[in-house]
């Protein structure tokens, strides 16, 4: 027994029910473990320990509980020689891990009780933990949900990514403008990870390729890089539900081969002596360095190759250790490319198979295609990466040889099949010859994979019709759909304990293991007593969000008002601008028509704009300028408040989502691949206002037309409208409300210090409205009015909210992963 333990720990604790011997013993064990970690790992006495010290101690004690299951999972995977899944993603937005781990281990309440006996509040400790800054938005959060679901379904899986020192930037708002600063998530260490310095791989860049003749065969190509960076592994265990399996998230950190040029240092050039180290370590410094400069482009490409190469070398090592034969790789390995960022892995695997392991080209290509599958996340041309061929030839000369050969063989096969039209061949080529030669990484991922999937039913069809139309014609069976999902453990059980407890009391515990059990709520949707309890649970969440807004923004909002929420990356196609314009219209109405009985509403925005995305930053500024004017106008009488919460991350989302009444999913139809925020908010009882875009289509099908607010142009109508041009003068002239809004912005009503601040924005909407904000404004304005009417009919509103929770079980990431496992990866799943 730890000599520093409290008297209550030494023996039976009087606060613990003596009849619950098993639970009491577990609580005492946890308390002892935390104190031991505090003393011997953190090196602090309980009387002087800070909250951060306690958090580290609790995290380490929890991690110890995970390790046994982790080792067991690894042993079982080796013993059963299972086919392994490797998920390659440049982002893993894992968020805080303390409550996630405790929840999945079933230790939340025992740990809470253990800490209570030490006068420590678990909920305070959870807020001490920094968010892991390893992602930007939906793509990274999806990767995190998928990793957790793979463990829950007992799939032997590894995630591979980069251990960014700072990750995505920390956003601050000063005078309404976004400013970016390095995120400091690693400043106090990361108690969840295990450094693996012994697991390291050399990653080459530049240099030359030598051709060595062979007596009976094609010459051997030998790449001699001019620069080598070392990838060092850091492992984080990922716990599945009920701890049935623990998988590994392996992140790579970049190191120089020689951290210091001692000869240069001794010559007095102390900065120059560290140049190689700085260049190497820049690879894992931040997520998404700006690619608006040649240097930024090169760093992005170095990042992508760095983690793809290290991951492939690592998984091949593991495969050979167990199976001994590289020829069986595709039988035992499935690799999922999460978007185009890891697409260079196709060329890298070919290089390893042909150059390192000596396979013939045709066999290597057969293994590569059978091993890889590729998830497409976007229809935006700028997000389907292309790299200048000269850059790739300089940085990855052997890979460019391989890519040229892949393309040549691909086009030869097409010509052999009768495809001779130059335009068609150009569209099908991996190499884009327009405006300078570029490598189409989406084409490379497509050709190197046996399956390509979209992430919602609509998106998958649009992938076939747009970005991969020509390839789909040649390979009609390759594109499949796998609609995204979210892990309910994080986004219901942890984020919304009030609602979770109500669900357990009402329909039992079955929904913890089977999300379809939520359907048992449907008969209660019109029950007034249950509606009252449901709204009460949500009101507690709204009160928590109102307190957070008051603390961070010094803005007082009414928890009984309608919380109208748009939280996502700031981008023109996501149309935060449309929401802001409607906010201004509502503000004008409230002032001009005080006799009307308006629904009190709080407009809540959060999201980051890319550092070099000027228009997105201007939209953030406009949101804050509108907030300043509206919130300080006494004539509004608190009927409307506008809040922009800075530095949106997973932890902030966990507070906002359970409190949202209205979920804004208003992207230009045909441009949002799926969305997962829409699923999270619908699960927690928010009603969606949105276009028929991404997973909104499937949410509408699941929850019913009466329980969602759909407006605006369809994807087909968007295409037809754009074909007519993007000039919106007639549209604006036909809408008095929109015209008034745009005139007020142009006149400087929200920017009296700089009346021309938004001139470019108004001009863009007027003459080049590519994202059709003006075209959808009137429909959106009418849909928002319908929202207000529904909110007044509280019985109908709560019926719709309950049905949203009851009918969104299908959007579980467990369902999505089970589909991947069965149809793409060909691995079994095991449910609890």
- Tell me how crowded residue 179 is: count the other CB atoms within 10 A of its CB: 14
Query: Within 10 A of 380 (CB to CB), how many other CB atoms are there?
Result: 13
H or E element in which residue 210 lies? strand 208-214
Q: Reduced to 3 states, what is the DSSP secondary structure of residue 376?
A: coil
- Alpha carbon distance 489, 170 (integer Å): 26
Rounded to whole angstroms, the Cα distance separating 535 from 802 reads 9
H or E segment to which residue 172 belongs: strand 170-174
Nearby residues of 639 by Cβ (< 8 Å), 6 or more positions away? 590, 598, 599, 600, 601
- Find the helix or strand (DSSP H, E) in which 200 lies: strand 194-205
Q: Which of 583, 616, 624 is nearest to 602 (CA)?
A: 583
Token readout for 582 is: 């409607």
Tokens 């515990």 found at: 509
Element (H, E) at 173: strand 170-174
Q: Which residues of 18-49 are buried (b: 16+ CB within 10 A; e: fewer)?
A: eeeeeebebbbebbbbbbbbbbeebebebeeb
Tell the burial category of 365 from Cβ atoms under 10 Å away from its Cβ (0-12, 13-18, 19+). Answer: buried
Distances (CA, A) of 345 to 143, 167, 445, 661: 18, 22, 9, 43
Angle 452-457-460 from CA coordinates, rounded to 5°: 30
Angle between helices 794-806 and 773-792 (to 10 degrees): 110
d(CA 496, CA 659): 9
- Contact between residue 348 and residue 308 where contact means Cβ atoms under 8 Å apart: yes
Q: ∠ CA 598-603-604 to the nearest 5 degrees?
A: 160
Would you say 741 and 585 are in contact if contact means Cβ atoms under 8 Å apart?
yes
**CA atoms of 684 and 568, how far apart (whole Å):** 17
Q: At 656, which helix (H) or strand (E)?
A: helix 650-656
Coil, helix or strand at residue 609? coil
Q: How many CB atoms lie within 10 A of CB 313?
A: 18
Contacts 24+ apart (CB under 8 A), 175-184: 176/620, 176/621, 176/624, 176/625, 176/628, 177/617, 177/620, 177/621, 177/624, 178/608, 178/609, 178/617, 178/620, 178/621, 180/611, 182/286, 183/133, 184/130
N-term to C-term CA, the chain: 36
Could you write out the three-class secondary structure of 186-197?
A: CCCCCCCCEEEE
Q: How far apart are CA 44 and CA 23, in angstroms?
A: 28
| DSSP SS3 for 374 | strand
For 620, the token pair is: 């953030």
Crossing angle, helix 361-371 and helix 344-351, to 10 degrees?
Answer: 140
Q: What is the spatial distance between Cα 680 and Cα 603, in angstroms, rounded to a whole number?
A: 18
Encoded tokens for 404:
């040229």
Q: Which residues are catalytic?
A: 377, 568-569, 574, 676, 680
Q: What are residue 271's phi and psi, to 5 degrees?
A: -75, -45
Torsion sign, CA atoms 656, 662, 668, 671: positive
Q: Rounded distance, CA 684 to CA 538, Å?
A: 9
């Amino acid at each position: 027994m730890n000599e520093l333990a409290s008297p209550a720990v030494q023996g039976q604790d009087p606060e613990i029910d003596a009849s619950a011997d098993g639970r009491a013993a577990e609580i005492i064990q946890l308390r002892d473990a935390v104190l031991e970690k505090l003393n011997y790992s953190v090196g602090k006495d309980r009387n002087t320990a800070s909250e951060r010290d306690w958090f580290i101690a609790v995290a380490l004690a929890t991690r110890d509980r995970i390790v046994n299951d982790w080792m067991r999972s690894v042993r079982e995977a080796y013993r059963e020689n299972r086919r392994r899944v490797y998920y390659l993603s440049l982002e893993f937005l894992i968020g805080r891990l303390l409550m996630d781990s405790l929840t999945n281990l079933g230790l939340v309440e025992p740990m809470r009780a253990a800490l209570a006996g030490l006068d420590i509040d678990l909920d305070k400790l959870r807020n001490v933990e920094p968010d892991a800054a390893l992602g930007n938005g939906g793509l990274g959060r999806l990767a995190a949900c998928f990793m957790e679901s793979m463990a829950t379904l007992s799939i032997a899986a590894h995630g591979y990514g980069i251990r960014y020192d700072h990750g995505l930037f920390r956003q601050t708002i000063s005078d309404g403008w976004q400013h970016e600063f390095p995120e400091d998530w690693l400043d106090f260490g990361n108690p969840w990870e295990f450094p693996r310095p012994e697991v390291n791989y050399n990653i080459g860049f530049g240099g030359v390729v030598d051709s060595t003749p062979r007596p009976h065969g094609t010459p051997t190509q030998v790449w001699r890089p001019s620069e080598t960076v070392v990838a060092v592994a850091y492992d984080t265990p990922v716990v599945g539900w009920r701890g049935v399996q623990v998988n590994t998230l392996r992140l790579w950190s970049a190191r120089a081969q020689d951290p210091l040029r001692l000869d240069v240092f001794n010559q007095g050039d102390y900065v120059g002596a560290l140049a190689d180290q700085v260049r190497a370590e820049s690879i894992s410094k931040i997520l998404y360095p700006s690619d608006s400069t040649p240097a930024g482009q090169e760093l992005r490409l170095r990042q992508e190759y760095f983690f793809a190469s290290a991951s492939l070398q690592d998984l091949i090592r593991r495969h050979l250790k167990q199976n001994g034969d590289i020829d069986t790789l595709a039988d035992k390995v499935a690799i999922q490319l999460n978007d185009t960022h890891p697409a260079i892995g196709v060329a890298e695997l070919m290089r390893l198979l042909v150059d390192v392991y000596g396979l013939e080209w045709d066999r290597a290509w057969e293994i590569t295609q059978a091993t890889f599958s590729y998830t497409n996340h976007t229809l935006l041309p700028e997000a389907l990466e292309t790299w200048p061929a000269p850059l790739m030839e300089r940085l990855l000369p052997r890979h460019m040889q391989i890519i040229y050969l892949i393309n040549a063989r691909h086009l030869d096969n097409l010509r052999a099949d009768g495809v001779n039209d130059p335009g068609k061949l150009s569209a099908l080529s991996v190499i884009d010859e327009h405006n300078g030669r570029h490598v189409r990484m989406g084409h490379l991922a497509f050709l190197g994979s046996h399956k390509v999937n979209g992430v919602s039913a609509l998106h998958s069809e649009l992938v076939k019709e747009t970005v991969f139309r020509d390839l789909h014609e040649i390979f009609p069976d390759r594109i499949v759909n796998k609609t995204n999902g979210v892990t309910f453990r994080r986004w219901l059980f942890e984020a919304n304990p009030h609602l979770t407890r109500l669900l357990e009391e009402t329909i039992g515990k079955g929904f913890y293991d089977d999300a379809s059990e939520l359907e048992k709520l449907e008969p209660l949707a019109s029950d007034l007593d249950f509606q009252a309890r449901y709204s009460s649970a949500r009101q507690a969440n709204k009160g928590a969000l109102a307190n957070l807004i008051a603390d961070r923004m010094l803005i007082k909002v009414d928890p009984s008002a309608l919380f109208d929420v748009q939280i996502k990356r700031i981008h023109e196609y996501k149309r935060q601008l449309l929401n802001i314009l409607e906010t201004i219209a509502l503000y004008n109405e409230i002032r001009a028509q005080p006799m009307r009985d308006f629904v009190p509403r709080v407009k809540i925005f959060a999201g980051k704009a890319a550092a070099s995305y000027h228009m997105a930053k201007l939209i953030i500024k406009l949101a804050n300028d509108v907030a300043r004017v509206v919130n300080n106008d006494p004539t509004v009488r608190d009927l409307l408040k506008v809040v922009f919460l800075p530095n949106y991350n997973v932890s902030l989302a966990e507070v906002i989502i359970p409190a949202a009444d209205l979920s804004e999913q208003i992207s230009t139809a045909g441009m949002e691949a799926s969305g997962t925020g829409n699923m999270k908010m619908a699960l927690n009882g928010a009603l969606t206002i949105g276009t028929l875009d991404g997973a909104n289509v499937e949410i509408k099908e699941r929850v019913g037309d009466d329980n969602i607010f759909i407006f605006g142009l369809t994807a087909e109508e968007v295409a037809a409208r754009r074909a007519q041009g993007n000039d919106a003068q007639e549209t604006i002239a036909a809408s008095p409300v929109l015209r008034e809004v745009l005139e007020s912005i142009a006149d400087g009503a929200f920017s009296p210090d700089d009346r021309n601040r938004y001139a470019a924005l108004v001009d863009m909407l007027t003459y080049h409205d590519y994202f059709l904000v003006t075209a959808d404004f009137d429909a959106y304005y009418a849909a928002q009015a319908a929202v207000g009417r529904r909110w007044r009919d509280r019985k109908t509103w709560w019926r719709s909210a309950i049905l949203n929770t009851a009918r969104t079980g299908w959007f579980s990431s467990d369902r999505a992963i089970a589909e991947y496992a069965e149809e793409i990866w060909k691995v079994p799943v095991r449910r609890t």
